[in-house]
Amino acid sequence: MKVRINRWYNAVLTALLSIFGYGCSSDDTDYAPMYGVVMYGAPATEFQVKGQVTDEAGMPVQGIKTSLTVFVPTIDGQIAFGLDSVQTDDSGQYLLKYYGFQSDPMMLVVEDIDGEANGGEFQSDTLDIDFGKAVKVIDRDMDGHGASYEIHQDIKLNKK
């Protein structure tokens, strides 16, 4: 009896969901003209942006906030998405990860958020990420889809 009720419940639930238009396909019209409909197997790539933040004298600066911003094209222009952000370690090193399309413009934003605590106040900086500097570190399939790239970007900050 319990099995019959579960089957009936599943059949009714499936029918209701299909009547209301719930499904498992994507037709996001904001992005479709640029990329087509995103499906399984879309050529997304992993990027690791890493480097060192130093002051004018070449000394590493810790506690600097580094973050990625990606600009995704839409019908009306583009949308900016703030992604991963990390603070530099004791040796001024940072590592940011992004998983997406290679054609999306990406910027690295560098900000001093702790003031004098890291050896002085530093001016913020914004850098365009150059995909031409990307070095492939892992190739997951024969077409290059799903590959992992590393982009090395050192930053020299000026004091305020």
Tokens standing for residue 43: 């050529």
How confident is the model over 113-119, as a mean pLDDT?
75
Residue 24: DSSP 8-state: S
- Closest of 65, 64, 98 to residue 81, by C-alpha: 98
Average pLDDT, the chain: 76
- Closest of 121, 128, 65, 113 to residue 92, by C-alpha: 65
> For residue 33, what pLDDT is reported?
43
The model's pLDDT over 14-50, given as tens digits with 9 standing for 90+, comes to: 777 677 665 555 444 444 444 444 455 556 678 888 9
The model's pLDDT over 60-107, given as tens digits with 9 standing for 90+, comes to: 988 999 998 888 777 887 777 777 789 999 999 999 988 776 666 788
**Cα→Cα distances 84→14, 70, 78, 91, 109, Å:** 38, 10, 19, 20, 11
Residue 122: DSSP 8-state: B
Please report which residue ranges of the chain form alpha helices under DSSP H.
Answer: 2-19, 32-35
> For residue 91, what pLDDT is reported?
93
Q: In 10 A of CB 121, how many CB atoms?
A: 13
The angle subtended at Cα 47 by Cα 44 and Cα 53, nearest 5°, is 160
- Closest of 39, 67, 40, 42 to residue 53, by C-alpha: 67
CATH 2.60.130.10 residue ranges of the chain are 39-156
- pLDDT level of residue 53 (50, 70, 90 thresholds): very high
The CATH topology of domain 39-156 is Protocatechuate 3,4-Dioxygenase, subunit A (2.60.130)
